[in-house]
């Protein structure tokens, strides 16, 4: 199975101005987050931020509906992204998916070089991996294709390498 890191498009800067240190992101209740955007702005369907050592992955309603189909063990908490001038408001969801310990970690690796050492044990479609200084949402090829077909905004995918296919099988080729 092929896997991809799901990342926000870095050309979109709307989500970068959010304050992820507000108490709402740590709690398990709905909350309000204020940002600087206009009613005509199109907000990305996937974005994330961090505060200290915590990462907060956020999705819109449309992407949440797709993720719910592929994973029953995702925890979601709604929040209301509201313009500071109260011109517009959208419903977003903070998602928390299970962490899988299937990553081959090297301190020098960048996100383009991530390698999975094995298939995930719990959910093969959607999971989170944790590195020393970063966390990533990993999605299967099937889920990535479904997201791309829906033409969601502001999402990009980076392929993840498979470490279990790199085993040397040449010794079995020689009789």
- Which pLDDT band holds residue 146 (cuts at 50, 70, 90)? very high
Give residue 88's pLDDT.
Answer: 81
Sheet with 115-116, side-by-side order of all strands: 103-104, 115-116, 155-162, 3-8, 135-140, 126-130
For the record, the structure tokens of 27 come out as: 């709690």
Residue 100 vs residue 112, higher pLDDT: 100
Q: How far apart are CA 116 and CA 145, in angstroms?
A: 20
Mean pLDDT of 106-116: 68
Give the residue from 153, 173, 166 showing the smallest Cα distance to 46.
Answer: 153
């Amino acid at each position: 199975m092929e896997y991809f890191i799901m990342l926000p498009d870095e050309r979109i800067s709307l989500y970068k101005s959010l304050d992820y240190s507000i108490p709402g992101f740590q709690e398990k209740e709905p909350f309000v987050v204020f940002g600087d955007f206009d009613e005509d702005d199109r907000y990305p369907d996937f974005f994330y931020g961090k505060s200290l050592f915590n990462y907060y992955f956020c999705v819109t309603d449309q992407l949440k509906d797709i993720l719910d189909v592929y994973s029953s063990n995702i925890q979601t908490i709604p929040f209301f992204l509201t313009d500071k001038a109260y011109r517009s408001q959208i419903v977003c969801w903070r998602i928390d998916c299970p962490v899988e310990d299937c990553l081959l970690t090297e301190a020098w690796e960048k996100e383009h070089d991530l390698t999975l050492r094995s298939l995930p044990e719990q959910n093969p479609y959607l999971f989170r991996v944790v590195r020393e200084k970063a966390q990533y949402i990993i999605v299967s090829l099937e889920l990535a294709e479904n997201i791309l077909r829906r033409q969601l905004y502001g999402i990009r995918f980076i392929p993840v390498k498979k470490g279990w296919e790199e085993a040397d099988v040449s010794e079995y080729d020689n009789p």
